[in-house]
Amino acid sequence: PPLDLFQQFHVLFMLRTPELHAVLQVRSHESRVEGQDHLPRPAGHAPFDAAQDTVGFWVTSSSAVSTHTAASVIVAVVEGRGLARGEVGMASIDLKNPEVILSQFSDNTTYAKVITKLKILTPLEILMSNTACDAGNTTKLFSLITEHFKNATFTTVRRKYFNETKGLEYVEQLCASEFSTVFMEVQSKYYCLAAAAALLKYVEFIQNSVYAPKSLKVRFQGSEKTAMIDSSSAQNLELVINNRDSRNCHTLFGVLNYTKTPGGSRRLRSNILEPLADAETINTRLDCVQELLQDEELFFGLQAVISKFLDTEQLLSVLVQIPKQDTVKTAESKITNLIYLKHTLELVEPLKAALRSCTTPLLKAYYSALEDTRFGIILEKITTVINDDTRYTKGCLSMRTQKCYAVKPNINEFLDIARRTYTEIVDDIAGMIAQLAEKYNLPMKTSFSSARGFFIQMNVDCSTLPNGQLPSEFTKITKMKNTYSFTSADLIKMNERCQESLREIYHMTYLIVCKLLNEVYEHIHCLYKLSDIVSMLDMLLSFAHACTLSNYVRPEFTDTLAIKQGWHPILEKIAVEKPVPNNTYLTEGNNFVIITGPNMSGKSTYLKQIALCQIMAQIGSYVPAEYCSFRIAEQIFTRIGMDDDIETNASTFMKEMKEITYIIRNANDKSLIIIDELGRGTSAEEGIGICYAACEYLLNLKAFTLFATHFLELCHIDALYPNVENYHFEVRHVRSSTGNKEKIAYTYTLSKGYTEEKNYVSLPTQIVL
């Protein structure tokens, strides 16, 4: 097509309406935000009560009005609960500037990212869920924020107002159309949407402000010193979930995940989704991985200790919770967790011993952190009450025995009596089953399960039983192959007596454990540091382990993206043979690469390979290549795939346009952009025009861009822009032994220049034009 057609589409594509200022409609009964005036603020609890009557929105203020009258940012912060603890969502709005900033990220137990982001925002007021701030049950996050922001006002909001569905509705209603691409970033970020719902409702009703529809600028902002990868790119690159089968481990996470603890696995996952963007921190991690690879004794010593750790973060979460009701279940849980705590603290010394000879700064810092005297203080207090040989064991009966005899004798006389009673009952059960075995001359043995308690098990052939059946006094009979499981009326009664005795033991042990925990609570914060160390060491060991299974190389960080003989890490795991390696080279003067080649020649795999190698380098892992150098990418964008979306009523072309618009509006000079075909959802003329326009815009940036296309007309753009390079994947034409048929042989080798291949598949000559 002639160049004027390209120019026409360029004008159509690049034409934008001027950016409109969002209009903030303020309806205030008391005052307005003007210049340096005080913000409208409730004088006490009475206005909140009035608000409760009108909108059912309840808050309580926990500090005096801030003296910083110039500040006007309100921030809502919410943290996930249970296994999602550490996943933090934030939403902020400046009352003097109608812009809502949404953030969501995984943080460690020190909450460094949250504090950093709040420091930048310098909020006037911080909103948090009432469940995080309840007296006597405050979360670690709430305590840290109140400690660091003493001049800010803290307001608690009912948890039900942190509603992600309402948050998405607010964003759709209030976000100006110029910024509507934010939907793609936040539609799966549930915690930042929940924070947005509480924030906007609070501003609307408590601050007496109403925003006009489509009036706000809403943007998503990743955490500082980390690269941003949108959810679409994470899905396209199969970072943590395989697109064909969600249970399949053929993902980047699956390739690198040799972690031994749940905390290490969570840290690896969050790092893959949010890689580092700070070269110094990355090199510190790489130094550790290098030392682990060079020092075999250190590697195996650390791995042996780390594998014994339980879920430290989950343990901490449970330990700091105070149950509202003292039930048998809560008593048993507390006793179990104290045993887990003892088990964890006993591993501190072996971990220190494993780290003693290390030389890298990070590992030495971890060794110093483990010298915290609080670990010893807690363990000493525990061992004054808990038996030295009490420890975490596998098997429900073994663990039940550990819980029963956890507390040392002679601390509580009634507890000692209850335990003797329990022992006698257990001995009676074993004696009774032995008598039954003798009476019926059958090989019966005592078994235990948490659901059934004690029961009888027997491995015998059915034909050896009288009349092929068990004696009539046995009930609840189950059979699996030649194994019979059953009980009797007497055994059921003895199990009930055993349970009653056990409840007494747990109750008395629980009282002793609670008293002990109250004594160690003031020192327990050292465990946050320990959980952080364990999860990081686990992840670094996992990186080192992955290197031992393949010939990965340490990456360098420069202003150039150069990969010598790199290959796809996931494909290597799947394929029988090692994938064909290829070279990559991009610099600021050569930052745009157009890749052509027939279908199935390897374009998509090659593009994904580069993005995966970039992510691996930025999380501190070695990379599958002979040599590699990377420029730190602040954002990684991908436009891959040809699917439509029935749920959102989006055609293939609509999805393409949304994705490329998102890239154009958010890319900067430090981005890595991967585009695997564009404009295939419409006519060839329109597709070429759109591709040309998109390329011209991206060529004005210093971002590293790799663009795969079947539009060979696009390859001529290198005549106008010197920073464009053309590459193609080679194919060979091979004739059959008879010489009648010709087929294409794929070499999967990247070569300079654009492809001259016209016929992508071996079609009959009579139908090829």
Write the pLDDT tens digit of every residue in 292-319.
999 999 999 999 999 999 888 778 767 7
User: Hey, which residues does 726 pair with through a beta bridge?
Assistant: 594
- In this prediction, the residues of the chain whose per-residue pLDDT falls under 70 are 1-71, 83, 96-98, 108, 110, 112, 116, 119-120, 135-136, 178, 206-210, 212, 222-224, 317, 320-324, 647-648, 738-740, 758-769
| Tokens, residue 286 | 């790489």
Quick check: pTM over 0.85? no
| C-alpha neighbours within 13 Å on the C-beta side of residue 618 | 30
Assigned domain for 35 exists? no
Q: What are 599-637's pLDDT values in tens digits? A: 888 899 999 999 999 999 999 999 999 999 999 998 899
* 528 and 646 belong to one structural domain: no
Which residue, among 634, 706, 643, has the nearest Cα to 671 in the 3D structure? Answer: 634
- Do residues 544 and 562 both lie within one domain? no
14 in any annotated domain? no
Q: CB 170: neighbour CB atoms within 10 A?
A: 23
266, 374: one domain: yes
CA 532 to chain centre: 15
Q: How many helices (H) and strands (E) does the chain have?
A: 26, 22
Q: Which residues contact 531 (CB under 8 A, 6 or more apart)?
A: 108, 109, 263, 312, 313, 316
pLDDT for position 107: 77
Asked if 86 and 313 touch (Cβ cutoff 8 Å), the reply is yes
Q: Cα separations (Å) of 315 from 83, 345, 524? A: 11, 12, 11
Cα 124 from chain centre? 30
Q: Kindly state whether residue 357 falls inside one of the protein's structural domains.
A: yes
Query: Of 224, 245, 270, which closes a domain?
Result: 224
37, two tokens: 């005036």
b/e per residue, 511-548, with b = 16+ CB within 10 A?
A: ebbeebbeebeebeebbbbbbbbbbbbbbbbbbbbbbe
Q: For residue 455, what is the domain's CATH number?
A: 1.10.1420.10
pLDDT, position 540:
97
Tokens of 168: 């998405």
**Single residue among 491, 516, 541 that ends a domain in this structure:** 516
Report how far residue 258's alpha carbon sits from residue 540's, in angstroms, rounded to the nearest whole number.
10
Helix H or strand E encompassing 430: helix 413-440
Please give the pLDDT value at position 209. 57
pLDDT of 706 reads: 95
The partner residues of 744 in beta bridges, in order of sequence, read 733
Q: Identify the pLDDT of residue 81.
A: 77
Q: Give the pair of three-digit tokens for residue 340.
A: 């887990």
Question: Per the domain annotation, does 290 fall within a domain?
Answer: yes
Find the CATH number of the domain harbouring 198. 3.30.420.110
* Phi/psi at 6 (5° precision): -60, -45
CA nearest neighbour of 69 among 111, 38, 25, 42: 38
Looking at the structure, tell me whether residues 263 and 200 fall in a common domain.
no
CA distance 765 to 740: 12
State whether 423 and 372 are in the same domain. no
613 and 709 inside one domain? yes
Among 516, 538, 566, identify where a domain stops. 516
| 626 and 721 both lie in a single domain | yes
CA 47 remoteness from chain centre = 40
Residue 215: give the domain boundaries: 46-224
Q: How many CB atoms lie within 10 A of CB 442?
A: 17
Same domain, 655 and 597: yes
Q: Are residues 646 and 666 in the same domain?
A: yes
Same domain for 647 and 506, yes or no, is no
Q: Is residue 4 part of a domain?
A: no
C-beta pairs of 419-422 under 8 Å, 24+ apart in sequence = 419/505, 421/501, 422/498, 422/501, 422/502, 422/505
| CA separation for the pair 607, 595 (Å, rounded) | 9
Domain contains 17:
no
- Considering the domain architecture, whether residues 535 and 651 belong to the same structural domain is answered as no
Q: How far apart are CA 547 and CA 350, in angstroms?
A: 25
In a domain, 716, yes or no: yes
**Shared-domain flag, residues 360 and 281:** yes
Q: Which helix (H) or strand (E) holds 594?
A: strand 592-596
In a domain, 406, yes or no: no
The total of structural domains in the chain comes to 4
- pLDDT of 167: 92
Per residue in 80-105, is it b (16+ CB within 10 Å) or e — as a string?
beeeebbbbbbbbbbbeebbbbbbbb
CA–CA dist 598, 621 (Å, integer): 33
Q: pLDDT tens digits, residue range 46-59? A: 333 333 433 333 34
Beta bridge partners of 386: 407
Residue 46 CA to residue 152 CA, distance in Å, equals 21
Question: CA of 680: how far to CAs of 275, 643, 648, 658, 685, in Å?
Answer: 31, 11, 20, 14, 10
